[in-house]
Amino acid sequence: MSNTPTTTQYAGLRGRRYLVTGATSGIGQAVALALREQHAEVVALGRNPEALAALEAAGCTTCALELTDTEALERTITEHGPFDGLVNSAGITHVEPALTLPAEAIDQVFHTNARAAAMAARCVARGMIEANKGGSIVNVSSQASLVGLDDHLAYSASKAAMDAITRSLCLEWGAHKIRVNSVNPTVTLTPMAQKVWSAPEKRDPMLAAIPLHRFAELADVVEPILFLLSDGAAMISGVCLPIDGGYTTR
């Protein structure tokens, strides 16, 4: 996959077992493939059959799953665990002015972005604690949790909830040697984002607000995630790391 890191080796990933949600597109897919390049074992969760088949061909174990089905999620994690790490990358958005935003849309975004992430972390952590092995959890949040964005009430609030989950779990599980962090990317150039942000009237104002004057490539997000999973980040927990070219400093 283009933009996926292939040369840097991260301490401690080889041979370890990781669960990646939202693994059939975007950042989640890139993380799953990058972990395989690090010779880690990967269980990839997603909904796209063709993308799951491609991940299987790359050596991942795959599961088709609706993350908001908590019973199915816990059953799958228990069956395939224990894990050394989790990347909560699954997420959806709903862009609409707050005055017309339906309650149902808020519920749907929160259930996927916040509740499912918390439930996945809970089940993975139980396995880590039972195995007395510790581990690392990385939540894929967003710059939208750190600053106000027009028409992003549901998405921004759900990602702020994810960051709060990160901080709470860092405190609760630190004694079990479980580290929990978030990464908070700006616009990341997945195939979908390239279409959404291709129009100059939308693209140019956002680029002007980013001090580095570019959007994130997949590798810009995947590399920090791999680092946070690795032994090199052994003393890092409770962090919400902007990967935004300086956007949130404004």
Establish if 248 belongs to a structural domain: no
Establish if 6 belongs to a structural domain: no
Average pLDDT of the chain to the nearest whole number: 94
Q: Where are the alpha helices (DSSP H) in the chain?
A: 26-37, 49-57, 70-80, 103-110, 116-131, 153-173, 191-196, 200-209, 218-229
Q: Identify the CATH number of the domain in which residue 118 sits.
A: 3.40.50.720
Confidence class of residue 93 from pLDDT cuts 50, 70 and 90?
A: confident
What's the mean pLDDT in 183-212?
Answer: 90
The count of structural domains within the chain is 1
Catalytic residue among 159, 177, 195, 247: 159
Establish if 125 belongs to a structural domain: yes
Distances (CA, A) of 247 to 147, 166, 205: 9, 21, 12
133 is catalytic: no
Establish if 177 belongs to a structural domain: yes
Establish if 141 belongs to a structural domain: yes
Q: Is the pLDDT of residue 235 over 50?
A: yes
Can you tell me which residue has the tokens 């032994």? 231
What is the span of the domain harbouring residue 236? 17-187+219-243
155 is catalytic: yes
| Percentage, residues of the chain above pLDDT 70 | 97
pLDDT at 202: 86
N-term to C-term CA, the chain: 33
Predicted TM-score (pTM) of the model is 0.94
Q: Is the pLDDT of residue 250 over 90?
A: no
Q: Is the pLDDT of residue 173 over 70?
A: yes
Confidence class of residue 161 from pLDDT cuts 50, 70 and 90?
A: very high
Catalytic residue among 10, 155, 195, 202: 155
Per residue in 55-68, pLDDT tens? 999 999 999 999 99
Q: Do the beta carbons of residue 126 and residue 58 sit within 8 Å?
A: no
pLDDT at 7: 57
Per residue in 214-233, pLDDT tens? 999 999 999 999 999 999 99
Establish if 195 belongs to a structural domain: no
Per residue in 14-73, pLDDT tens? 999 999 999 999 999 999 999 999 999 999 999 999 999 999 999 999 999 999 999 999
Ranking 95-99, 172-176, 195-199, 205-209 by mean pLDDT, the lowest is 195-199
Residues with Cβ within 8 Å of 104's Cβ and at least 6 positions away in sequence, in order, are none
Establish if 105 belongs to a structural domain: yes
Establish if 208 belongs to a structural domain: no
